[in-house]
Structure 1
């Protein structure tokens, strides 16, 4: 976690509140060291920018790690549907592969 980068990202967010990338980048800064904070940011990003596809993979993984099974399942499902709607083949593959692993882990 880089505090200078966090400060800069917060500044960018205040200057461009409708840019989902800056919010996503901030969530990624917290991802490893403060996963709950990152998850809160990712949930807000899904609510505010539901078409921002990169959010779904990371959010679903954090939910899975936190054993929030139902919400992880929902986020994976919505992410896969969005990737298909956007015809993003790489995201479809990545989300479906991760979702399959999630389902195996749950069995």
Structure 2
């Protein structure tokens, strides 16, 4: 816990210096996932609103919504992420989001079929 606090303090220092840096906001959200999921959602929401092209947000925000039992919100986030990653030509992110979406929706496909 102490290590997270120190890291968060450092991240907030960066955030104060540049509140528009998407990576810093993402890092803060990621740290909060471990200790305060609701607070993490606040920072993911900032990213989704102010930095919709920051594609890494969609997978992690979707997973967090899933973990909090908010399936419909997770579904929406994954769908948005699929659009953004496709627009960016980011096949890795698209693949991860597609797999997460399929798992959420119960659409697990077996390669042997």
Q: Common fold, TM-score beyond 0.5?
A: yes
Distance in 2 (CA, whole Å) between partners of 1:32 and 1:16 is 24
Q: Which residue of 2 aligns with 1:83?
A: 85
SS at 2:35's partner residue? coil
How much does 1:41 deviate? 1.1
CA distance in 2, matches of 1:102, 1:68: 11
Give me the CA root mean square deviation. 1.3
Instruction: Give ranges in structure 2 of 5+ residues lacking alignment.
Output: 108-113
| Alignment-derived partner of residue 104 in structure 1 | 106
- TM-score, normalised on structure 1? 0.92
Gapped runs of 5+ residues in structure 1?
Answer: none
Count of matched residue pairs: 105
What secondary structure sits across from 2:80 in the alignment? Answer: helix
1:22 maps to 24
Counterpart position of 2:96: 94
